Chains A and B, each alone.
Chain A
Amino acid sequence: MKIKLMVSEENYSQIFKELTAMGVEIDDGAQLILSEKNVYVSRLIGRHDNEIFRLNTKDISHIESFAHDIIAHCGGDEYKLTERLRRLEEILDPEEFIRVSNSVIVSAEHIKSIRPSLSQKFVLTMSDGSKVDVTRTYYYIFKEFMGI
């Protein structure tokens, strides 16, 4: 059995030992995830040109759902993630990441500018130059999040 561990740093080594002793293999690419409550990931596994990368969440500007793929924009490149957007919303630090539409999660640290409009929408310009719309559904959530 392969399990991906998403626990705090303090508990990681102990849980790792106990699971390994039980014959469980710890694999960051596993589909089965053991996660600790209120612990948010600091790294995500992404694929780019058939290579697997460990992405630091601090370097991710935004994550978007495109067709059946989840794409993380990080350092100017695009990486495919295995987690669904809903799952990412749960495991990413809510103080840092916020969902702005049905298909996009952005990192607040990577927002370069916010352009308001008369209709209830914002247009965000990210640090890599991408433009992301905050839709009406998430307008007040984003407004509350940013404190504007």
Chain B
Amino acid sequence: MGIAWVFIIIALVIAAFVGLALAVYMAVYKRKIALRLSQGRSEGKKMMSPLLFFVITLVCVIPLGLILTILVSRAFYSAQNRGMEMGMAQPSLRAVGETALEDSPFSGYTTGADIKGYDMTTYNDGDTTFYCYTADDSLYGVLPRMLICVDDGGKDVKTLRMKMDYRSTNADGAASFIGTPESAVLYALDADGFDGTLDLEFCGITTQEYVEGGERMDEEYFSTADVKGSLTLDMAYPEE
């Protein structure tokens, strides 16, 4: 919608310019007519009719408007693409809980099961197993690029934290989710346009259940987690 407003503004500016030019010309034209009436007929230089002036102004201004529109479009879309090419798009990690899962295309999913349209890769680290599902090319842009399920090895995790650190050529940052196993059956990774590395760290606490708005659970708290696992993912796009 943003680019559409720019085009509308350009069109309005052109219309205003043409309208103003025509108004000025009509004023000058009427003045000349009054002069002719008062001084009598003359063989002097004739003015073009207002209609002809309007058409000529339009013919001159429209190409300028088109050039301006093309330049603005190119600048707008290349800025978008530049952002994608330089890996400035930021990934996001969202937890999908049991309730949301049942109302999704992934309804009925169980840990380690195949998901249609995704290729599964398994990574083991410590007590945890990461099941990483990568979307087929045909689903790119339709469903999440990657789904991750973490198996805590049967430990009775009551509170978990999934932390993601990302790094690319021009951007880095972090995101994390804290909740219960029921609220994070799958993690959906939105990383369209992201061309960098993700470091995932899973921490599971078996002694205390997460309560939203309850005791603050910070880095120090999770450093004593009973279940831990980490994974590094290279999200770089394959070279063509």
Cβ distance A118 to chain B, nearest Cβ, rounded Å: 5
- B37 — which chain A residues lie within 8 A by C-beta? 111-114
Select which of B26, B33, B51, B54 is within 8 A of A148 by beta carbon: B33
CB distance from B34 to the nearest CB of A (A): 8
A148 in contact with B50 (CB, 8 Å): no
Chain A window 10-47, contacts with chain B (Cβ cutoff 8 Å), 1 for yes, 0 for no: 00000000000000000000000000000000000000
Interfacial residues of chain A within 105-133, with CB under 8 A of chain B in the complex:
108, 111-120
Q: Give chain B's interface secondary structure class.
A: helix
Q: Which of B33, B44, B54 contacts A116 (CB 8 A)?
A: B33
Cβ contact within 8 Å between A146 and B36: yes
Residues of A within 8 A of B22 (CB): 118
Q: Would you call A48 an interface residue if the criterion is a C-beta within 8 Å of the partner chain's C-beta atoms?
A: no
The answer, yes or no, to whether B46 is at the interface (CB within 8 Å) is yes
Which residue of A is nearest B44, CB measured? A147
Please report whether the interface of chain A is mostly helix, strand, loop or mixed according to DSSP.
Answer: mixed
Closest to A109 in B: B40
Tell which of A111, A118, A119, A144 has the most Cβ of chain B within 10 Å.
A118
Per-residue A-contact encoding for B38-50, CB less than 8 Å = 1, 0 else:
0001111011011
B41 with A147: CB separation less than 8 A = yes
B50 touches A114 (CB 8 A): no
Give the complex CA separation of A148 and B45 in angstroms. Answer: 8
Q: How far is the CA of A113 from the CA of B36 in the complex (A)?
A: 10
What is the CB-to-nearest-CB distance from A117 to chain B, in angstroms, rounded to a whole number? 8
Question: Smallest CB–CB gap between A105 and chain B, Å?
Answer: 16
User: Is A143 in contact with B49, judged by CB distance below 8 angstroms?
Assistant: yes
A-side contacts of B216, CB under 8 Å: none
**Would A116 and B50 be within 8 Å (CB), given that A146-B36, A148-B33 are in contact?**
yes
A sample of 29 inter-chain contacts (CB < 8 A) reads A112-B37, A113-B34, A113-B37, A114-B37, A115-B30, A116-B26, A116-B29, A116-B33, A117-B50, A118-B22, A118-B26, A118-B50, A118-B51, A119-B51, A120-B51, A143-B46, A144-B46, A145-B41, A146-B36, A147-B36, A147-B42, A147-B43, A147-B44, A148-B29, A148-B32, A148-B33, A148-B36, A148-B46, A148-B47
